[in-house]
Structure 1
Amino acid sequence: MKNVCSMLMLTVLFTACNDSKSKNKASDMDAMTQNMTENPLLVESTLPYGAPNFTQIKNSHFKPALLQGMEAQQQAIAKIVNASEAPTFENTVLALEKSGALLDRVENVFYSLTGAHTNDTLQAIQEEMAPKFSEQRDAIYLNEKLFDRIKTLHETRETLGLDAESLKLLEKYFEDFEIAGANLSAADKETLKTYNSRLATLINTFNKTLLEANNSGAIVFTKKEDLAGLSEGVLKSLEDPASKGWKIPLLNTTQQPLLQSLDNRATREKIFKAAWNRADGTAQDTKAIIAEIAELRAQKAALLGFDNYASWSLQNTMAKIPENVFNLFNGLIPAATAKAAVEAKEIQKMIRQKGGDFSLEPWDWNYYGEMVRKVKYDLDENQIKPYFEMKTVLEKGVFYAAEKLYGLTFKERTDIPTYHDEVLVYELFEENGDALGLFYADFFARPSKRGGAWMSNFVTQSKLYDKKPVIYNVCNYPKPAEGEAALLTYDEVETMFHEFGHALHGFFADQQYPSLSGTSVARDFVEFPSQFNENWALYPEILKNYALHYKTGEQIPQALIDKIKNSGTFNQGYSLTENLAASNLDMQWHTIGADKKIDDANAFEKEALRKTALDVVSAVPPRYRSTYFSHVFGSGYAAGYYSYLWTEMLHHDAYNWFENNGGLTRENGQRLRDMVLSRGNTLPLEEMYKEWRGSEPKIEPMLKARGLK
C-alpha cells in the first residue's frame, strides 16, 4: 500500500459544462482549439506501445487536450442518446465504452504527472478542471435517456446472445448507473450534481494543500550534533545549501524513517510532531476540508438511499457492507493491541536499560524498538541495507521472481523518453519472446511528487483497441547523495515487490474491454496481487539472487537471512495496530449519518479511536492521521482502506497454497496467472479466488504470519 497505493491512483470522475456554465465556454473553446494540429496528446503516439512522447508534451497542451477529449465524449454520448434505432449492445454499450477513448489517453498522462512530477501550471489546470470532470461524469451517469437504453438492454440481456465478457460489461454499466444515482428524481439529480462538483473541488484542494504541507513541513537542522546517529552518506543526501544545514523532508506517513536512527530525543520529537501536525494548525490546515468532505459524502449517500457513505461505497466490493468490515476489525483489534502492549513494555525496559528516565512516546518507538530487535534477533538494519541496492533489487529480485513464476524477461530501454531523468524504462517479453508491454519505474522522492507508492497505466490493455499495457510504478525512496549507492531498507524492498505485483496484474490483463481490464476490480481485491507478490522478497532462491553487497558483490550470508526471517514477527503488534487505527478512522469518517455536523475534526478522530479501543497503547498512533490521510480524502480509498487488511488475509492464504503445492514454480505461477491475474473484472471475485484456491480463504495464515497465533 504498504502505504501505497496504495496506492492505485484515483480514477478521476469526468464531467462536462452544463448550460449554467455557458459564460465559461468561450474561454474553454479558445483553449480547446489552440494549436490543435500541434498537440501531441490529441494524436496516437508513434512510440512503441503508444507510450507518451514526453519530449513533445508541454504543460500548455493539457488543458486544450482535456477539453477536446471531453467534447469528443459529449458528442459520442449525444449520438447514443439521440439515435432513432432501438438500443443494441453495439450502438449503446459498446459506443459508451468507446466514448471516452481520447479523454482517457490524455488523462492517463495528465494524472501521472500531477501525481509524480507536478508544478504550479499543472496544479492550476487540475484545480480548474476538477469540477468540470465531475459535471461530465454526472452528465453521463445521470442521463435519463442513456440509462433507459442501458436498462432496456439489461432487462433483455439473456436474449442478446452476448459472450460472457460483453454481458459482464453490460451488467457493469447498469450497476454503475444505478450506484451513481440514475434512478433519482430530476430534482434529486440536480442536488447530487452539486454534491459531486463540490466534492471534486474539495478533493483537489485537499491534495494540493497536503502536498504543500508535506513540503513546507520539512525540518531544517543547522547543528550536526542534532542529527547524531545518521551516517555520513545520509547526512550528505540531506544537505541543504540554502540553510547551510540539513533538511529532512516529510513522508506522507505518521512515523518517519529517520526516527529509527536519530540519537537525539529532542530531534526525534521535533520530526515526529512536524509530521503529526503538518496539516493541523499550520498554514496548510486540512481539518475543515476533511470535515466538509465527510459531511458531503454522508449527504450524498442519504440522497442515494443509504444510511452512510460506506454502505453506498461498498456495494461492489467483497466486503459488501460496513458490518463485515467492522467484524474483520473486531477479530483483529484485541490480539493486535495486546501484542503492541507487550512490545511497548519491552521497549520501555530497553529505555530504562539505556539510562532513560522517561515514558515511551511515539517518537521513541522505532529508535528503541530497533535496539530491542538487535538484542532479540541480533539484527541491525544497517547490516542488511548494503545488500539491497535499488536497481539490483529490481532487476535481480523483482524481475527474477517474475521470470521464475511467469517466464517473463526484461530489457532496459534507454531510448524511450520519460517525464524525469530518474525514471527507468523496461520492455517485457513473454517466455516465447512475444512482446508484453513497457514498464516505467520512478523510485526517488522529490518535492513535485505526492507521498506514498502506487501503480497506474499510461496505456491500458484491451483487445478492443489492440493495446498492450504501458504501466508505471511510483515510490518515494530517499534519494542518495551524488555518487552514493541507493540502498533500501527491507520494508522498501517489500514495497518494490508490492507495487510490481500491481504491475503484473495490469500486464497479464487479457480483456476485450478496457473498463474490465487488469486492475479494474474492487478495492478489497486489487491489493491481493500486490501483497501476494511481497512473499517472493524473502524466498530463498529469489533473495540469494538479488541480495548482493553493493561493493563486493558478495551474496547475503545465510546468518543474516535467518535473522531477517526470525525477526519477521517483530513489531507486528505495532504494525497491525497502526494499520487498524487508520482503517478504523476511515470507516468512522464514512459511517456518519447525513445529519452529523463535525465541528472539531481532532475531537472526532480522538473519539473514533477511543470507542474502538485503538488508543489503549498511546505510543502507537494511526499510520495516517485524518488530516493527511490522502488515501481516503484525496484518492479512491474512501471507506476502503480496510482493503489492505482484507487482502492481507487473501495473500497469506494464497501463499499457504503455494507452500503446500511446490512453492515457486512455473506451473504454479502460470496457474495463478491463468485463473486470477489475467481475468480482470470478468468474474465475481469471490468465485475467481475460490476456484483457484479450491476453498474459501482462511484467516489463520495471516494470524500466523503476524505472530498472533
Structure 2
Amino acid sequence: MTNFIPTQPAALPFILADFEAITPAYIRENAAAGMAALRAEWDAIASNPEPPTIENTLIALGASGMEFETKLGAGYTMMSSIGGEEWDAVQAELMPQISALYDSLWMNDALYARLDALEVPEDPETARLLSEYLKDFRLRGIALGEDERAKLTELNAAISSGETEFEQRTVKARDDAALHITDPAKLAGLDQETLDSLAQSAADRGLEGWLITLISPTQQPLLTRLTDPETRAALLAASESRGDDDETRALVLKLARLRAEKARLLGFETHADLVVADATAPSAEAVAERLDTLAPPTVRNVTKEATALAELKARDSAAPFAPSDWFFYEEKLRTEVANVDFDAVRPYLELDAVLNDGVFYAATQLFGLQFTERPELTGWAPEVRVWEVRDEDGEPLALFVGDYYARPGKNGGAWMHNLVEQSHEDGTLPVIANNLNVTKPAPGKPTLLTWDETTTAFHEFGHALHGMLSNARFRGLAGTNVPRDFVEYPSQVNEMWLEDRDVVTHFARHHVTGEPLPDELLDSLLAVRSFGQGFATAEYLSAAIVDQAWHRLAPDAVPTDPAEVLPFEQRVLEECGLTVVPPRYRTTYFAHAFGGGYDANYYSYIWSEVLDADTQKWFRENGELNAVAGHRFRETVLSRGNTRDPLDSFRELVGHEPDLEPLLKRRNLL
C-alpha cells in the first residue's frame, strides 16, 4: 500500500508522504509515468472482453487512480503551501497535462458505454457512484462529436493554464504588496508583540523597520488597530491595487471568455448554468434570485452602519469618512456600545490553546475523538505539525496536519485539503490538512490569534471533520467530495462552538498568567455576534454577485479591453446598490473565481449558510454541545459525504426542507 510514494514508516497505518523526498524533480519524473499508468487502468476497464458488470466496470473505475492521486496530493501540497519559482514552473507545466488526462477519461466512449449498460445496483451507495459517473461523463463532453471534443480539450487546457497563472499572479501580487514602514509613528496603536512580529517579517526579507504582509481579502486585520489614518489608507490602497495591471486584467477576460465558450459547446447558455448543473442549487436563476433578494436589506443595513461610523469619526476629524476607516471605527463603536475590545481578547487566544483546548476539545465533546501530537512525523515545512486522531473506541481514525503560518510563496487565505482520502474499498484512512496564514511571531514569542483567525481555525477544522469522519466505500464519494454549494455547510456549523460558553472558557486563558477570559468580556463577546453584519454581508455579497456577473456573460459579451475590467465590476455593484464598502475580493485578485474552484460558485457560502443556520438552530434545540447531538450530526451528515444526495442528509438531520429564516435573522436581514 505504501510503496508507490516515499512515506514515513512511523505513520503507519496511515500514508503520510516523506515530504523531503517530494521535490520538483520527483514530481516531474513520476508525473508522465503516473498518467500513463492511470490511462492504462482506464483502457483495461474499457477494453475488458467480458460483459460489463458492477465489479469489472463501475467498482474497477472507482478504485482506479489511487497511486496517481496520492502523488498528486503531495505535489499539490508543495505547490500551494511552499510555492516559489521552481514549484510554480512544475504547476504550470503539469496542470494542462492533467486536464488532458481527465479529458481522455470523460471522452472514452467504450468506458461510458459499459457504464451506461449497467443495471442500477440495489446498494444505494453503489447506485450513487454509478449516477455520479454518468452525470460527470455527460457534463464533460461524452455527447460531443470528434471536432467538438478536440475543441473542448483545447479549451480545458487553456483554462487550466490560465487558472494556474492567475493563482500564481495572485500570490506574487499579495507578497509584493506588503506595506513597508520605517517610521514607528505610522504604527501607533499596535502592541509590542505585533510590532515585534512585523519587524521579524521585515527582517525575513532583508528590510529595516516593519513589514505589514497582506491576507487575501480586501480588508486587512491591522486596519482595526492602526490609529494613523494615512497608514490605514496606504494599507487598504496596497490591498485593493493587487493585480491591477494589463496582464492580469487581460487574463481575467481570457478566462471569462474561454469558460463562456466551453459552456456553449456543452449546450449551456452560460458558465454559471454549467456550474450549477453539478450543484445543489436548482438553477443559475435560483442563485441570482437568492442574491438579488438579499441585496436590498443588505444595502439598508450597511448604509445605516456607515452613517453611524461616519458620525463617530466626525468626533475625531473633519476629514470625510473613508473605506479605510471602516474597521477602525467599527472597532471603536463596538467597544463604546458593547464594551468589547477585540484587541484586549488577543492575549487569551494563543494558538496551542485554541487548538488543543478549543478546536479539538469541541470535537472530543461531540464525537469522542482523541488527539495526540506526533512530533516525529514531519510536514512540508518545519512549523507544520501532525496529530494522530483516534475514534472514541481507541481505533485509529485519521492524521490531521496543521500548517498555520504564512510564508512567501504560500497560497493566500485558508483551506483544507486531502492528502489521502478515506475509502473502505481502497483500505485507506484519511490524512487531512488545514492551512491558515497567521503572521509568524518573533522567535520566543507566542502566537496570539485575532478573533477572526480563531473563527477561521474552527471553520477549517469543520472541513477537516468532514474528511476525517467519512465512512464511504468509494474514494470519489468520501468526505468533502460533495457539490461546492454544500461543502461549506459542515465547516460553517463548526464555527458555532466558538460561541459556546463551555468551549470558550476552556481555551480562552491569558497566555502569561493563565487567567481565564473575564466573564464580563466573554458576556460581551457572545452578545455582539450580530454586530457589523451589514458590512460582513455586503462585502461578501458584492463579491458573489461580481463572480456571477462575469460568469453569466455570453462569449461575445465579454469585454475585449483590459481597461474595462474594473469598470465592469463597478457597474455590477452600482446596479445592485452595493457600493458602500469594497467587495471582499476585487476581480484582479479574486482567486476563488479566477484561480479555479469557486468560479460561478462563490455564492456557495451563503447557500450553505442557509443549511448552517438551520442546523445551528437544531443543535440549540437538542442540547448544543453534547455527544448525542454530535453523533447524530456525524451519522447523518459528516460520515455520508456524497454517498447519497447531500440534501437528503440535511433533511434527515433537521426533519424538514432548508429554511431561509434562521439565516435572515442571524444577518439582521428581516
Is the structural similarity TM-score above 0.5?
Answer: yes
Q: Is the 8 A contact 1:92 1:150 kept in 2?
A: yes
Match of 1:420 among 370, 376, 381: 381
Which residue pairs with 1:127 in the alignment? 92
Q: Is the 8 A contact 1:438 1:470 kept in 2?
A: yes
- 1:202-217 aligned within 5 A: 202-217=162-177
Q: Is the 8 A contact 1:222 1:243 kept in 2?
A: no
Residue 410 of structure 1, CA deviation = 0.7
Which residue pairs with 1:278 in the alignment? 242
Whether 2:275 is the aligned partner of 1:313: answer yes
Which residue pairs with 2:625 in the alignment? 664
Q: Which moved more, 1:644-653 or 1:239-248?
A: 239-248
Q: Is the 8 A contact 1:42 1:65 kept in 2?
A: no
Whether 2:325 is the aligned partner of 1:361: answer no
The 3-state SS of whatever aligns with 2:388 is strand
Counterpart residue identity of residue 207, structure 1:
E
Residue 238 of structure 1, CA deviation = 1.2
Whether 2:131 is the aligned partner of 1:171: answer yes
Q: Deviations for 1:235-271, whole angstroms, at most 9, x for unmatched residues?
A: 1111223331211112111011111111111111111
Residue 433 of structure 1, CA deviation = 1.0
Which residue pairs with 1:326 in the alignment? 288
Whether 2:668 is the aligned partner of 1:704: answer no
Whether 2:498 is the aligned partner of 1:537: answer yes
Counterpart residue identity of residue 567, structure 1:
V
Whether 2:140 is the aligned partner of 1:139: answer no
Q: Deviations for 1:145-171, whole angstroms, at most 9, x for unmatched residues?
A: 222222222xx32xxx44221111111
Q: Is the 8 A contact 1:462 1:513 kept in 2?
A: yes
Which residue pairs with 1:189 in the alignment? 149
Residue 302 of structure 1, CA deviation = 0.5
Counterpart residue identity of residue 175, structure 1:
K
Taking the aligned partners of 2:45 and 2:21, their CA distance within structure 1 comes to 34
Whether 2:255 is the aligned partner of 1:293: answer yes
The 3-state SS of whatever aligns with 1:431 is coil
- 1:507-546 aligned within 5 A: 507-546=468-507
Q: Is the 8 A contact 1:41 1:62 kept in 2?
A: no
Taking the aligned partners of 2:122 and 2:8, their CA distance within structure 1 comes to 33
The 3-state SS of whatever aligns with 1:473 is strand
Taking the aligned partners of 1:682 and 1:661, their CA distance within structure 2 comes to 26
Taking the aligned partners of 2:347 and 2:291, their CA distance within structure 1 comes to 38
Whether 2:437 is the aligned partner of 1:476: answer yes
Q: Which moved more, 1:73-82 or 1:556-565?
A: 73-82
Counterpart residue identity of residue 139, structure 2:
I
- 1:218-617 aligned within 5 A: 218-239=178-199, 240-241=202-203, 242-281=206-245, 285-354=247-316, 356-598=317-559, 599=561, 600-615=564-579, 617=580
Q: Which runs of 4+ in 1 moved over 6 A?
A: none
Q: What percentage of residue pairs aligned between the two structures are identical?
A: 37
Match of 1:103 among 42, 52, 68: 68
Counterpart residue identity of residue 301, structure 2:
K
Match of 1:677 among 635, 638, 655: 638
Residue 595 of structure 1, CA deviation = 2.0
Residue 43 of structure 1, CA deviation = 5.9
Residue 84 of structure 1, CA deviation = 2.1
Match of 1:83 among 48, 69, 74: 48
Taking the aligned partners of 1:297 and 1:480, their CA distance within structure 2 comes to 42
The 3-state SS of whatever aligns with 2:151 is helix
The 3-state SS of whatever aligns with 1:411 is strand
Counterpart residue identity of residue 376, structure 2:
D
Q: Deviations for 1:114-169, whole angstroms, at most 9, x for unmatched residues?
A: 1111232211111111111111111110122222222222xx32xxx442211111
Taking the aligned partners of 1:101 and 1:585, their CA distance within structure 2 comes to 37
Taking the aligned partners of 1:58 and 1:559, their CA distance within structure 2 comes to 52
Change in 2 beyond 3 A, CA 1:44/1:85 = farther
Residue 41 of structure 1, CA deviation = 5.5
Which residue pairs with 2:23 in the alignment? 58
Residue 99 of structure 1, CA deviation = 2.6
Counterpart residue identity of residue 115, structure 1:
S
Counterpart residue identity of residue 489, structure 2:
F
Q: Deviations for 1:168-222, whole angstroms, at most 9, x for unmatched residues?
A: 1111110000000110111111111111011011011111111111111112111
Counterpart residue identity of residue 399, structure 1:
F
Counterpart residue identity of residue 701, structure 1:
P
TM-score by length of 1: 0.91
Taking the aligned partners of 1:633 and 1:255, their CA distance within structure 2 comes to 19
Residue 327 of structure 1, CA deviation = 1.7
Change in 2 beyond 3 A, CA 1:72/1:445 = same
Counterpart residue identity of residue 261, structure 2:
Q
Which residue pairs with 2:592 in the alignment? 631
Q: Is the 8 A contact 2:63 2:475 kept in 1?
A: no
Q: Deviations for 1:472-517, whole angstroms, at most 9, x for unmatched residues?
A: 1000112111111111111111111100000001111011110000
Taking the aligned partners of 2:5 and 2:528, their CA distance within structure 1 comes to 53
The 3-state SS of whatever aligns with 1:601 is helix
The 3-state SS of whatever aligns with 1:292 is helix
Unaligned runs of 5+ in 1: 1-38
The 3-state SS of whatever aligns with 1:510 is coil
**RMSD of aligned alpha carbons:** 1.5
Residue 53 of structure 1, CA deviation = 1.5
Counterpart residue identity of residue 237, structure 2:
K
Taking the aligned partners of 1:167 and 1:281, their CA distance within structure 2 comes to 49
Counterpart residue identity of residue 52, structure 1:
A
Residue 681 of structure 1, CA deviation = 0.3
Taking the aligned partners of 2:308 and 2:4, their CA distance within structure 1 comes to 57
Which residue pairs with 1:11 in the alignment? none
Which residue pairs with 1:21 in the alignment? none
Which residue pairs with 1:149 in the alignment? 114
Taking the aligned partners of 1:304 and 1:73, their CA distance within structure 2 comes to 26
Residue 97 of structure 1, CA deviation = 2.0
Taking the aligned partners of 1:699 and 1:167, their CA distance within structure 2 comes to 31
Residue 44 of structure 1, CA deviation = 6.5
Q: Is the 8 A contact 1:318 1:525 kept in 2?
A: yes
Residue 45 of structure 1, CA deviation = 5.7
Taking the aligned partners of 1:453 and 1:213, their CA distance within structure 2 comes to 17
Counterpart residue identity of residue 489, structure 1:
T
Counterpart residue identity of residue 567, structure 2:
A
Counterpart residue identity of residue 203, structure 1:
E
TM-score by length of 2: 0.96
The 3-state SS of whatever aligns with 1:437 is strand
Taking the aligned partners of 1:485 and 1:41, their CA distance within structure 2 comes to 39
Q: Which moved more, 1:162-171 or 1:125-134?
A: 162-171
Q: Is the 8 A contact 1:586 1:632 kept in 2?
A: yes
Which residue pairs with 1:73 in the alignment? 38
Unaligned runs of 5+ in 2: none
Taking the aligned partners of 2:312 and 2:442, their CA distance within structure 1 comes to 33
Q: Deviations for 1:224-243, whole angstroms, at most 9, x for unmatched residues?
A: 11111122211111122333
Q: Is the 8 A contact 2:24 2:90 kept in 1?
A: no
Taking the aligned partners of 1:43 and 1:561, their CA distance within structure 2 comes to 47
Counterpart residue identity of residue 324, structure 2:
W
Change in 2 beyond 3 A, CA 1:519/1:418 = same
Taking the aligned partners of 2:648 and 2:196, their CA distance within structure 1 comes to 52
